[in-house]
Amino acid sequence: MADQNSAQLRPHSEHSRDRTSKRLSTDSNGTSEGGVGSSTPVELTALEESFRRFAIHGDTRATGKDMHGKNWSKLCKDCGVIDGKTVTLTDVDIVFSKKSCRTITYDEFKIALGELARKKYKEKTGEEAEAEVYKLIEGKTPVIAGVTRAVASPTVNRLTDTTKFTGSHKERFDNTGRGKGKAGRVDLVDTSGYVSGYKHQGSYEKKVTKPPMAKPM
């Protein structure tokens, strides 16, 4: 029972990662040992796993076997391959444009990284430069952007503090700051027959209305 409860209370982000992992495992194209269609589980390298995660980012129909230009640029940006000096976004686009197709496979991806690596690490040999670039990418996942964080502002706090409201605006909220609804926006007509401000409403009815006396046996 405890295991079931812990599974139900897992954060949404963990469930999302699990679905991504299952999707990557299911869509494996057998580039590692096992081959295409083999029943042997395929072990992905850290670099290939990152390639597949970026390849399926933002596209529910993507299989992870190839990557289009937009996600290629995002990978280079998120992983720090682009530094704005030795490697720029233009360099990344040029390398990708050399491919005849609109997407690149994992093998073509490694070749493209090799070109950028030699440009980024000019003082190193080709293999050493590639190894350095691989380290930047291995184990990385796409950065999710566009999440807006609320920022405390004295101006906003002053405008939303109901205790400082005046005039008709003040009448729309009670002492706790809770809105009164329609009662705070419209003058409701009191048809009870009592004068305004009378505090003993209903007490007269209680006095004149007495419970029936029980008859003696």
Distance from C-alpha of 200 to C-alpha of 35, rounded to nearest angstrom:
88
State yes or no: pLDDT of 129 exceeds 60. yes
Q: What is the mean pLDDT of the chain?
A: 77
CA 89-95-100 angle, 5° bins? 130
pTM above 0.85, yes or no: no
Most confident residue range from 54-58, 151-155, 170-174: 54-58
Domains of the chain by residue range: 13-28+43-137, 148-185
Confidence of residue 147 (pLDDT cuts 50, 70, 90): low
Most confident residue range from 23-27, 28-32, 42-46, 101-105: 101-105
Q: What pLDDT, on the 0 to 100 scale, is given for residue 16?
A: 52
Average pLDDT over residues 70-97: 93
Between 166 and 94, whose confidence is greater? 94
State yes or no: pLDDT of 10 exceeds 60. no
Between 211 and 73, whose confidence is greater? 73
Q: What pLDDT, on the 0 to 100 scale, is given for residue 127?
A: 92
State yes or no: pLDDT of 148 exceeds 50. yes
Largest Cα–Cα distance in the chain?
A: 117
Give the tokens for residue 153: 């502002």
Between 79 and 13, whose confidence is greater? 79
For the domain 13-28+43-137, what is the CATH code?
1.10.238.10
For residue 104, the surrounding DSSP H or E stretch is strand 103-105
pLDDT digits (tens, 9 = 90+) for 106-124: 999 999 999 999 999 999 9
CA 138-30-131 angle, 5° bins? 25
Average pLDDT over residues 11-26: 52
Tracing tokens 């090799």 back to the chain, one arrives at 114
Average pLDDT over residues 124-146: 89
Between 199 and 138, whose confidence is greater? 138
- Nearest Cα neighbor of 57 from 134, 148, 141 is 141
Enumerate residues 6+ apart whose C-beta is below 8 A from 64: 23, 24, 27, 28, 51, 52, 53, 55, 56
